[in-house]
Amino acid sequence: MTDTVTKTALITGAARGIGLATAKRFLAEGWQVGLLDIDSAELAKAATAIAQPERTLVLSCDVAFPEQLEAAFAAISRRFGRLDALVNNAGVAVFKPLLETTHDEWQRVLAVNLSGPFLATQLAAPLMADTGGGAVVNIASISGLRASTLRVAYGTSKAALIHLTKQQAMELAALGIRANAVAPGPVETAMARAVHSQEIRADYRDAIPLGRYGLEEELAEAIFFLCSDKASYITGQVIAVDGGFDAAGIGLATLRGERRNM
Ligand SMILES: NC(=O)c1ccc[n+]([C@@H]2O[C@H](COP(=O)([O-])OP(=O)(O)OC[C@H]3O[C@@H](n4cnc5c(N)ncnc54)[C@H](O)[C@@H]3O)[C@@H](O)[C@H]2O)c1
């Protein structure tokens, strides 16, 4: 018997990068997709390029504002009548020394990276529960798994998002909703290509066992898997999609050199 239900995913921060690649992954599997982003112009460009208006809904929204999120979820509900997956991917980074990070920067990073997923999941859960459940995937970071310089706000927000994922998994299981996190290492996004110097790229290649950046599509694959029925017994987990970066810890340059020569 074939399943005639068309599933729906909502992806935040979908105008570009990992979010856009994830939206394309869901569309390729026949899902309907809500693409949400604060950057309306970039979002419109992405939707035009995808060119599947019958299966996409574009939502201009800042995830830090509850009333904007409420309007976005109401629009999803009106248009598709169901929600099966929420990918909390929208995120901002302020990379500054602890002593120079302003209160405003701290609050904005926490509002977007932590409060956004908290609020969006609160709105998603009743919709998902209406059709028997669903899946939430929060996009954290390697910076939430271990500390590093210049990441006092970003890293703290992502570490808190990992714990929020576990809290969500505990309480939403009763509604048939799974919650997991994906922690990317450095990903070959347009932004990374623009801001990472040759020296930084070489350092990453040296420190990452697989010796390269991740691809947006590799992140989208893990995110889609966690939202799919193939992950039906996985909840409350963090999967680092990072080429082994987290497993390697800080390592020693000399020993890494020996590894390269093995
Ligand atoms: N690229 C990496 O190397 C990397 C590594 C670790 C974690 N991540 C995480 O992955 C996620 C996606 O990263 P990316 O590299 O694709 O970033 P990106 O900057 O290319 O895309 C992020 C998208 O989120 C949108 N956005 C930002 N603030 C928003 C808000 N308040 N409301 C709605 N949309 C908003 C942006 O407009 C943008 O389209 C982020 O959460 C990021 O922290 C990325």
Ligand 1 binding site (Cβ under 6 Å of any ligand atom): 12-13, 15-19, 37-39, 42, 61-64, 89-93, 112, 139, 141, 184, 186-187, 189, 191-192
Share of the chain above pLDDT 70, in %: 97
CA of 92 to the centre of ligand 1 (A): 6
Which phi and psi (to 5°) does residue 143 adopt?
Answer: -70, -15
Other Cβ atoms within 10 Å of 38 Cβ, number: 19
Q: How many residues are recorded in the chain? A: 262
Q: Is 204 a catalytic residue?
A: no
Q: Are 131 and 204 in contact (CB under 8 A)?
A: no
Share of the chain above pLDDT 90, in %: 89
Question: Mean per-residue pLDDT for 138-162?
Answer: 96
**pLDDT by residue (tens digit) across 187-224?**
999 878 877 889 999 999 999 999 999 999 999 999 99
Q: In the structure, how many helices (H) and strands (E) does the chain have?
A: 11, 7
Question: How far is the C-alpha of 166 from the C-alpha of 136, rounded, in Å?
Answer: 11
When comparing pLDDT for 258 and 167, which is higher?
A: 167
Of 247, 250, 243, the C-alpha closest to 214 is 243
112 secondary structure, DSSP code:
I
Rg (CA), the chain: 18
Give the 3-state secondary structure of residue 178.
strand
Give the residue carrying structure tokens 């598709």: 80
Q: Which of 154, 204, 213, 233 is catalytic?
A: 154
Residue 258 predicted with pLDDT over 90: no
Question: Mean per-residue pLDDT for 169-187?
Answer: 98
Which ligand 1 atom is at minimum distance from the Cα of 214? 3
Domain architecture of the chain: domains with CATH: 8-260 (3.40.50.720)
